[in-house]
């Protein structure tokens, strides 16, 4: 299988000055150029600032350009990451409704852009309890009108506080409760923080075997590939360069070459620091992946 690896890239601003191509207008099609610029061939975007309640506002010409550029340069599959404010598990009706409205806009934007996946965190139950929180999440999802060509991915979480999704059982429960067809996105840093040890070949094999047993690997459609600045089981979510964190090169080499992962697209959310950014991390992933 061809290695599908890319990064979470911005849709804002214009191309870097000095490039030999003409800068595009400010729009979502910028993401394709940015992905190519870091050496990626798939990836993730926000359709707007993730810190605010805001509509995607994708113009028809932008969507057409995004689809055409992605096809021309064979970049995909893409995934949209929803706003950080979305909380599917909350017992607060007002917040659940805002989350539902935001999710509906994101799945519609994905359809418009030809993006097959919309990624979302379950959120926090904030005292309602795990069972009620998961039921709330499934109910919000089932209230959506999801286009046939779009799939919602539930992302694994680091599991701090009352946030849900740190336990694979949480993901499985939502998939079981919801009538909507759902799949999952595994974040390596989140899973590690939640107590799934990915730092050794044995740990990788055990974690993926448990994911298969609890959720089913057929539901794993995307991976957020991130190292962790904190140790396993700390519930602390802070990403590191691939190989530089507590997962390390040994863990990532085993993970990237595991048969369950080899054809799953990978999106990096690694930091820009120490003179390195996405381009370095993508190249390092390629070095850790064995050739077919």
Residue 149, helix vs strand vs coil: coil
Residues 174-232 have pLDDT tens digits of 999 999 999 999 999 999 999 999 999 999 999 999 999 999 999 999 999 999 999 99
Asked whether the predicted pLDDT for residue 96 surpasses 60, the reply is yes
Residue 120, helix vs strand vs coil: strand
Read off the CATH number of the domain in which 36 is found: 3.20.20.150
Distances (CA, A) of 223 to 77, 155, 191, 202, 243: 12, 9, 11, 19, 16
pTM of the model: 0.95
Scanning the structure block, which residue is given the tokens 């607060």? 92
Using the Cα atoms of residue 285, residue 4, residue 71 and residue 182 in order, give the sign of their dihedral.
negative
* CA–CA distance, 66 with 78 (Å, rounded to integer): 11
What total number of domains does the chain contain? Answer: 1
Q: Range of 66's domain?
A: 5-15+22-288
- pLDDT at res. 1: 57
Mean pLDDT, to the nearest integer, of 98-105? 98
Looking at every residue in the chain, the average pLDDT score rounds to 94
């Amino acid at each position: 299988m061809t290695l599908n690896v890319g990064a979470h890239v911005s849709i804002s601003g214009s191309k870097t000055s000095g490039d030999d191509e003409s800068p595009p207008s400010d729009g979502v099609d910028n993401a394709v150029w940015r992905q190519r610029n870091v050496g990626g061939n798939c990836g993730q975007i926000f359709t707007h600032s993730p810190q605010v309640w805001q509509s995607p506002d994708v113009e028809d010409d932008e969507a057409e350009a995004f689809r055409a550029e992605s096809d021309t340069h064979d970049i995909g599959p893409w995934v949209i990451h929803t706003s950080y404010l979305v909380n599917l598990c909350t017992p607060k009706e007002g917040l659940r409704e805002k989350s539902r409205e935001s999710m509906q806009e994101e799945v519609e934007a994905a359809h418009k852009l030809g993006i097959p996946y919309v990624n979302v965190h379950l959120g926090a139950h904030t005292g309602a309890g795990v069972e009620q929180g998961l039921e709330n999440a499934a109910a919000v999802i089932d209230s959506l009108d999801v286009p046939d060509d779009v799939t919602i991915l539930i992302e694994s979480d680091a599991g701090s506080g009352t946030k849900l999704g740190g336990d694979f059982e949480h993901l499985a429960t939502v998939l079981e409760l919801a009538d909507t067809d759902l799949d999952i996105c595994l974040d390596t840093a989140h899973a590690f923080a939640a107590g799934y040890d990915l730092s050794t070949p044995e740990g990788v094999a055990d974690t993926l075997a448990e994911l298969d047993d609890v959720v089913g690997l057929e539901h794993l459609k995307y991976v957020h590939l991130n190292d962790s600045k904190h140790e396993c089981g700390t519930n602390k979510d802070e990403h590191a360069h691939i190989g530089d964190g507590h997962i390390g090169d040994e863990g990532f080499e085993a993970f990237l070459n595991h048969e369950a992962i080899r054809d799953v697209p990978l999106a990096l959310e690694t930091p820009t620091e120490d003179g390195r950014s996405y381009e370095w991390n993508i190249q390092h992933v390629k070095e850790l992946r064995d050739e077919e």
